[in-house]
Structure 1
Amino acid sequence: MTRRYCSLPQQAAPAFPPGLAAERLGALTGGRRMWVNGTVLHYYFFDADTDASVIPVPGTGETRRVPWTGAKEQRDVVREGFRQWRDLGIGVTFTEVSDRREAELRIGFQLGDGSWSAVGRDALSVGLGERTMNLGWDVTEPGGRWTALHEIGHALGMRHEHQSPFAGLHWDDEAVYTDLFGPPNHWSRDKTHFNILRTLDPSEANGSVWDPQSVMQYPFGPGMILEPEQYHNGLYPPGSLSPADKEFALRWYPPAGTPAALVPFRSAPLSLGPGEQGDFAVEPPETRVYSVGTFGESDSVVVVFEERDGEPRYLAGHDDGGTPHNATLRVRLVKGRRYVVRVRLHSTWGSGETAVMCW
């Protein structure tokens, strides 16, 4: 039987202003979904009887109401998936919370709705009462742990590996459409094209070479891949984190260092390359509303965290990518508390220097 596959929600391509240089556009496309390093991603499992939605019953024209809640055994598989990613030593960490209002990642287990996840920071645009991730089958069964690792990979910003432009896969398109139209996936041609046959832009790929062993790579049975010929009889990744998966996570989220001091009214230069990040600590001399922002011809995302009980909690953020303006935030900082300003650079598009300031 064909393996059940993850199906990402279909979304329109990001709208950037016309006329951007190709290098700048690629940097924006590749980095816009990535979290700033040092983020604590809080995750929540839906647990109320009212957490449910109506889904179609394949092949019948009928619908049924199905809850989003999952048994402890299901939740434990996902918790273990978060631990495996965390144990790589990445700079992003994960904390389970019991209040959905505190969670960037909100996880359901609605059977029959497929398995899927928002990709990276796309989760921030999902309503607080909605799922950012769903595990649509029993993840305690064989292959279920692969599903949990795979969906968390999406939550970290990774895309489907078989859609990499570096894969060089030549598909038997109709065989793929026919296979996915049947059980257990019941996918339309549009969904199959979006999740399998569509080739990603090079800037969206997880790496500069194809990794058939990636946890983000689907397994495929015989006859779906025509070339390379070695995969004509099937492609079967191991379902675990590959060396390239680990390299991706550590490249975007290296172990966090000690933030440099950002003194109010003194600019701090940003000597960053595309995709790199600067971290700064602010201890305000008085309680008031401050401005925090960048200077220079650059595209960047700026996020301010407030440290609470030793954990950085999101306070405000802004991404100025693709605009002629710099990111500027207005935030209330309290004397005696510590704040961390994180700046991830997408690209520079001018000859001047870039800097960050709190004033």
Structure 2
Amino acid sequence: MTARYCSLAQQPAPVFAPGLAAERLGALLSGRRMWVNGTALHYCFFDGEDDGSVIPVPGSGGTRWVSWVGDERQRDVVRDCFRAWAGLGIGVSFAEVGDRSEAELRIGFQQGDGSWSAVGRDALAAGLAERTMNFGWDLTAPGERATALHEIGHALGMQHEHQSPFAGIHWDDEAVYADLAGPPNHWSRDRTYFNILRKLDPAEVNGSVWDPHSVMEYPFSAGLILEPEQFRGGVHPSGELSPLDKEFVLRWYPPAAASARPALVPFRSVPLSLGPGEQADFTVEQRETREYTFGTFGESDAVVVVFEERDGEPRFLAGRDDGGAPGNATIRARLVKGRRYVVRVRLYSGWGSGQTAVMCW
């Protein structure tokens, strides 16, 4: 029996300025969807009577309105899977909130719309009334907990494992198209190509080797894969976080260091000695309430995010990504006297002579 598969929305390929060095381009592709480490991701569940949308009815040509609201048993599976990822000790935390305006991740349970998630920071582009994640079938059924683990992996920035160019998979393309066109998925050829047959750029994938045991790997039945020979009988991941899943997510989001963060003082630049993918964090406690500007300097691609600490956790205030752009990131944000803020700078890549630096003014 064909499994139900996660179906990511088709997105246009990123556009970068022509002539970027291969190393710089690879760093941008690798990190452009990843959160800065130390981010607290807040999630909410849609629960209103009007929360829902119209979806097509497969095979009928008609449509119907279906709610996004899930029952408490479905929500508990998702909560448990957030705890499973957090339990690895990663530097990203999760907190459930009741107000969708405070949530980066907004979760629905619309039956018939498939299971999917925005990948990493792509979630920030969705409107407050839009889902960033959906579960389209019963998560309490045997084996379906893996679906929730899988979608949260996408929310952390992870991609489909079987689309890795390092897998060396030679598909029977027409068999794949035929299999996915039928129940329970009812996918078009375009959707099947985008989510299964399309190869990702080597810089986008979760690691330098294929992990058939990954929670980001689909299970496949026999007859779809021609090569490697040992997988002609199918691919059967366990549905749990594999050792390589854990290694990848801890590499991008290492446990928060216990050392104190240095202060970022107005009009005083701080040099940044960062390698690709590395991050520097600073505290900001201003003596007056006004609008401040935060900026990076030097030849680099970086992400700069300002958080306000509320109730002991960081809340996103403003952010800027200058990846691939000729200039540096600058952010304007109103800071209030007596409140505590955190500035995080994550480097994609740096080049040229001299150091990069960050300053507020």
**Normalized against structure 1, the TM-score is what?**
0.99
Within a 5 Å distance, the mapping from 1:101-180 to structure 2 comes to 101-180=101-180
Within a 5 Å distance, the mapping from 1:50-69 to structure 2 comes to 50-69=50-69
* Alignment pair present for 1:291 and 2:293: yes
Which residue identity does 1:209 align to in structure 2?
A: V
**Residue 330 of structure 2 corresponds to which residue in structure 1?**
328
CA–CA distance in structure 2, aligned partners of residues 256 and 263 of structure 1: 22
Cα deviation code 1:24-68 (max 9, x no counterpart) = 111111111000111110001000110011111111111111000
**Residue 303 of structure 1 corresponds to which residue in structure 2?**
305
State the secondary structure of the residue aligned to 1:220. Answer: coil
**Residue 26 of structure 2 corresponds to which residue in structure 1?**
26
State the secondary structure of the residue aligned to 1:192. Answer: helix
**Residue 15 of structure 2 corresponds to which residue in structure 1?**
15
Q: After TM superposition, which residue ranges in structure 1, 4 or more long, deviate above 6 angstroms?
A: none
* Alignment pair present for 1:42 and 2:34: no
Among candidates 346, 349, 354, match of residue 352 of structure 1: 354
State the secondary structure of the residue aligned to 2:63. Answer: strand
Shift of 1:290: 1.4
**Residue 228 of structure 1 corresponds to which residue in structure 2?**
228
Which residue identity does 1:334 align to in structure 2?
A: V
Which residue identity does 1:199 align to in structure 2?
A: K
Shift of 1:236: 0.1
* Alignment pair present for 1:206 and 2:199: no
CA–CA distance in structure 1, aligned partners of residues 18 and 142 of structure 2: 47
Which residue identity does 1:216 align to in structure 2?
A: M
* Alignment pair present for 1:81 and 2:81: yes
Which residue identity does 2:150 align to in structure 1?
A: H
CA–CA distance in structure 2, aligned partners of residues 98 and 336 of structure 1: 27
Shift of 1:287: 1.9
Cα deviation code 1:240-272 (max 9, x no counterpart) = 000111111111111112322222222111111
CA–CA distance in structure 1, aligned partners of residues 152 and 311 of structure 2: 26
Shift of 1:338: 1.1
CA–CA distance in structure 2, aligned partners of residues 238 and 260 of structure 1: 43
Aligned residues: 359
Percent identity of paired positions between Structure 1 and Structure 2: 77
Flag structure 2 segments of 5+ consecutive residues without an equivalent: none
**Residue 343 of structure 2 corresponds to which residue in structure 1?**
341
**Residue 98 of structure 1 corresponds to which residue in structure 2?**
98
Cα deviation code 1:150-187 (max 9, x no counterpart) = 00000000000000011001111111111000000000
Which residue identity does 1:286 align to in structure 2?
A: E
Which residue identity does 2:291 align to in structure 1?
A: V
Flag structure 1 segments of 5+ consecutive residues without an equivalent: none
CA–CA distance in structure 1, aligned partners of residues 360 and 256 of structure 2: 22
**Normalized against structure 2, the TM-score is what?**
0.98
CA–CA distance in structure 2, aligned partners of residues 331 and 181 of structure 1: 49
**Residue 312 of structure 1 corresponds to which residue in structure 2?**
314
Shift of 1:313: 0.8
State the secondary structure of the residue aligned to 1:80. Answer: helix
Cα deviation code 1:194-249 (max 9, x no counterpart) = 00000000010100111111000000000111111111011100000001111111
CA–CA distance in structure 1, aligned partners of residues 211 and 54 of structure 2: 37
Instruction: Please provide the CA RMSD for this pair.
Output: 0.8
Which residue identity does 2:145 align to in structure 1?
A: R
CA–CA distance in structure 1, aligned partners of residues 256 and 270 of structure 2: 19
